[in-house]
A and B are shown apart, each in its own frame.
Chain A
Amino acid sequence: MNAFVADKAQTPAGPDAAAEPEVLLRVDNVSLAFGGVKAITDISFDIRKGEIRAIIGPNGAGKTSMLNVINGFYHPQEGTITWRGRERRKMKPYEAASQGIARTFQNVALFKGMTTLDNIMSGRSLKMRRNFFWQVLWHGPAEREEIEHRRKVEDIIDFLEIQAIRKTPVGRLPYGLQKRVELGRALAMEPELLLLDEPMAGMNLEEKEDMSRFIIDVNQEFGTTIALIEHDMGVVMDLSDRVVVLDYGKKIADGPPEEVQASQAVIDAYLGVSH
């Protein structure tokens, strides 16, 4: 299709990785508390390279906290995180970003005053190498670099079918499109692991179908590993390779969608049970 895809096509996609599962990220016995409130208690799971991993659970189960731990917003009090086979020390979010972890947010976090194009361009800030003084002088190499990045961004815009809103300040866009721009910004980082926090929240059926298609395409064409939080069970069952279920900060199930769906603990957590 284009250069953007070509770059990514070398990484093996889902099915290959499944044969010999290589673990991209592993979370071991992680606990996170805010004062006396325990958000996450002793959770362990892994994310394999090339898969779509869903994290589900009722509201307040600690799903978003888990993502925040993975991309460095929160630092767990206990437990370890292993990223590409190496145990990760306490890490700042921008360091996580520079190591290939991108994310979107539950309630869209875009740069509202900027255009769609600038928003997605901002996703490439880590890839830009020309230093400060080149930037100030602007001409020559820095400009060439800018053009090169712009080309990649245009590829993403094509891929997400948002050409028409390229120059629109994102604050004016409807919610569904904002979510799509946010995905675009994360993709511009060419991440190895993409964290999606409720990518379909607040969308209508058609928008959900579009978004599902984009997620599958990102996973299969670019080989990007995806971890997503989603409440729409239909979407979760269709998209994901494996599902981890949290409830009250604890892991209550982990496995392929069908298996998780049949688990009594999960049914109880979702439907409620008298204790």
Chain B
Amino acid sequence: MLYDIFIDPFVQMYDMPDFFLQVLWEGFVAGILYALIALGFVLIFKASGVFNFAQGIMVVFAGLTLVGLHENGVPAFLALILTIAVMGVLAYGVERVVMRPLVNQPEIILLMATIGLTYFLVGFGEFVFGGEPKQMITEELGLPTGSTAFEMGERGLIILQHIDIAAAVIAVIMVTALGIFFNKTRIGRALRAVADDHQAALSVGISLNQIWAIVWFAAGLVALATGIMWGARSDVSFALEIVAFKALPVLILGGFTSIPGAIVGGLIIGFGEKIGELYWGGLVGGGIESWLAYIIALIFLLFRPQGLFGERIIERI
């Protein structure tokens, strides 16, 4: 038993490095996607202290809008632009209808509002696009679909899906752009100000409404990118929303307010999940991939409740 836990998996990793590398790659890709979803949560949490329950459904909604438009004969790139516009309208609408009337309310109220928003988007999405899963228009958007096999001499073969490579590249670009935007610009400072204290932000002349609309729009863009990437790997369906909650352990690991934290947390969960499933999962009959992330997060909570990069909360008593 102990041998199975502590020694055998590592022997396997050494014996079949191609398989191990393949697992690492899968973990990396899953991690990137988790990180993208978590990023959407972080953006809104940073700006409003709200855990945006609707981020998962925003991913689905963005994906559905894109595919739905294309199905109705809109060319792929025009559909992409229109979808971005739709996310903009959604951001403005959310700010105007949901956030603005709730300024200065306790966070739990805002959380409840985003839960309401979730159900609205589910209903609205099904009403407009129907409930069936749809195929992502990967090729039409010019994203690569093939795969490349790398031979490692005697030791086997690794297969990389091109779409996964594209996902990684796009994720890196997005994260860098957002990082610069929020850390180096006036809007970034205003955003952090708004997150810290609504009243104080208003009193120095920061418009909450403007900042919130910008942030929800940014989160909408991240949701769209995630929707495309994730949709390309499976289907675009409402089931994605559940997967999006994998972002929760990612956030606990990385800290709710940190963009790099979302990335690192996503990768840890991605790697941990795949490696755990394939090397240790067999010991308990498999299928640990779906809950291992939450266990990792729970253990983490005991030692570092603010997350790896989160802001340390000091209460003066």
Residues of B contacting A185 in the complex (Cβ-Cβ under 8 angstroms): 200, 204
Tell me if B192 counts as interface (CB < 8 A to partner A).
yes
Residues of A contacting B314 in the complex (Cβ-Cβ under 8 angstroms): 171-172
Q: Mark A95-139, 1 if CB is under 8 A from B, else 0.
A: 001100011010001111110001001110110101010011010
Q: Mark B163-189, 1 if CB is under 8 A from A, else 0.
A: 000000000000000001100111101
Tell me if A45 counts as interface (CB < 8 A to partner B).
no
The residue in chain B whose Cβ has the minimal distance to the Cβ of A112 is B196
- Given known contacts A122-B189, A136-B180, A171-B314, A94 and B200 CB-to-CB distance under 8 angstroms: no
Tell me if B39 counts as interface (CB < 8 A to partner A).
no
Is B203 touching A122 in the complex (CB atoms < 8 A)? no
Tell me if B146 counts as interface (CB < 8 A to partner A).
no
Is B180 touching A138 in the complex (CB atoms < 8 A)? yes
B19-35 CB contacts (< 8 Å) to partner A: none
Question: Size band of the B side of the interface?
Answer: 20 to 34
Chain A nearest CB: distance from B66 CB in Å? 25
Tell me if A58 counts as interface (CB < 8 A to partner B).
no
Residues of A contacting B181 in the complex (Cβ-Cβ under 8 angstroms): 136
- Number of chain A residues whose Cβ lies closer than 8 Å to a Cβ of chain B: 34
Among candidates A111, A126, A135, residue contacting B205 with C-beta atoms closer than 8 Å? A126
Is A138 touching B185 in the complex (CB atoms < 8 A)? yes
Chain B nearest CB: distance from A112 CB in Å? 6
Chain A nearest CB: distance from B226 CB in Å? 22
Is A111 touching B202 in the complex (CB atoms < 8 A)? no
Cα(A231)–Cα(B202), bound, Å = 26
Tell me if B311 counts as interface (CB < 8 A to partner A).
yes
Among candidates A73, A121, A132, residue contacting B202 with C-beta atoms closer than 8 Å? A73
Tell me if A256 counts as interface (CB < 8 A to partner B).
no
Tell me if B143 counts as interface (CB < 8 A to partner A).
no
Candidate in B185, B197, B204 with the most chain A CB atoms within 10 angstroms? B204
Tell me if B190 counts as interface (CB < 8 A to partner A).
yes
Among candidates B184, B192, B201, B208, residue contacting A113 with C-beta atoms closer than 8 Å? B192
Is B203 touching A121 in the complex (CB atoms < 8 A)? no
Tell me if A189 counts as interface (CB < 8 A to partner B).
yes
The residue in chain B whose Cβ has the minimal distance to the Cβ of A109 is B200
Tell me if B199 counts as interface (CB < 8 A to partner A).
yes
Cα(A112)–Cα(B314), bound, Å = 10
- Given known contacts A125-B205, A128-B186, A185-B204, A109 and B192 CB-to-CB distance under 8 angstroms: no
Candidate in B190, B195, B196, B311 with the most chain A CB atoms within 10 angstroms? B196
Residues of A contacting B206 in the complex (Cβ-Cβ under 8 angstroms): 94, 122, 125
Residues of B contacting A186 in the complex (Cβ-Cβ under 8 angstroms): 203-204
Tell me if A79 counts as interface (CB < 8 A to partner B).
no
Residues of B contacting A219 in the complex (Cβ-Cβ under 8 angstroms): none
Cα(A170)–Cα(B200), bound, Å = 14
Is A105 touching B205 in the complex (CB atoms < 8 A)? no
Cα(A186)–Cα(B200), bound, Å = 10
Tell me if B12 counts as interface (CB < 8 A to partner A).
no
Is A111 touching B180 in the complex (CB atoms < 8 A)? no
Residues of B contacting A92 in the complex (Cβ-Cβ under 8 angstroms): 202, 207
Cα(A172)–Cα(B196), bound, Å = 14
Is A121 touching B189 in the complex (CB atoms < 8 A)? yes
Is B204 touching A110 in the complex (CB atoms < 8 A)? no
Chain B nearest CB: distance from A114 CB in Å? 6
The residue in chain B whose Cβ has the minimal distance to the Cβ of A124 is B204
Tell me if A71 counts as interface (CB < 8 A to partner B).
yes
Tell me if B193 counts as interface (CB < 8 A to partner A).
yes
Chain A nearest CB: distance from B258 CB in Å? 11
Is A122 touching B180 in the complex (CB atoms < 8 A)? no
Is B180 touching A105 in the complex (CB atoms < 8 A)? no
Among candidates B184, B200, B205, residue contacting A110 with C-beta atoms closer than 8 Å? B200
Cα(A25)–Cα(B206), bound, Å = 23
Residues of B contacting A12 in the complex (Cβ-Cβ under 8 angstroms): none
Is A114 touching B193 in the complex (CB atoms < 8 A)? yes
Among candidates B203, B208, B257, residue contacting A103 with C-beta atoms closer than 8 Å? B203
Residues of A contacting B203 in the complex (Cβ-Cβ under 8 angstroms): 71, 93, 97, 102-103, 105, 109, 186
Q: Mark B256-287, 1 if CB is under 8 A from A, else 0.
A: 01000000000000000000000000000000
Residues of A contacting B311 in the complex (Cβ-Cβ under 8 angstroms): 113
The residue in chain A whose Cβ has the minimal distance to the Cβ of B190 is A125
The residue in chain A whose Cβ has the minimal distance to the Cβ of B197 is A109
Cα(A71)–Cα(B196), bound, Å = 20
Q: Mark A173-197, 1 if CB is under 8 A from B, else 0.
A: 0000000000001101100000000
- Given known contacts A110-B196, A111-B193, A172-B314, A123 and B204 CB-to-CB distance under 8 angstroms: yes
Is B200 touching A97 in the complex (CB atoms < 8 A)? no
Residues of A contacting B201 in the complex (Cβ-Cβ under 8 angstroms): 111, 122
Chain A nearest CB: distance from B10 CB in Å? 42
Is B205 touching A97 in the complex (CB atoms < 8 A)? yes
* With A111-B192, A136-B185 already in contact, 6 other A-B pairs whose C-beta atoms are closer than 8 Å: A93-B202, A94-B202, A111-B200, A114-B193, A122-B189, A125-B205
- Can you name 10 A-B pairs with beta carbons within 8 Å? A94-B202, A94-B207, A97-B204, A102-B203, A105-B200, A111-B196, A122-B206, A125-B204, A130-B186, A136-B180
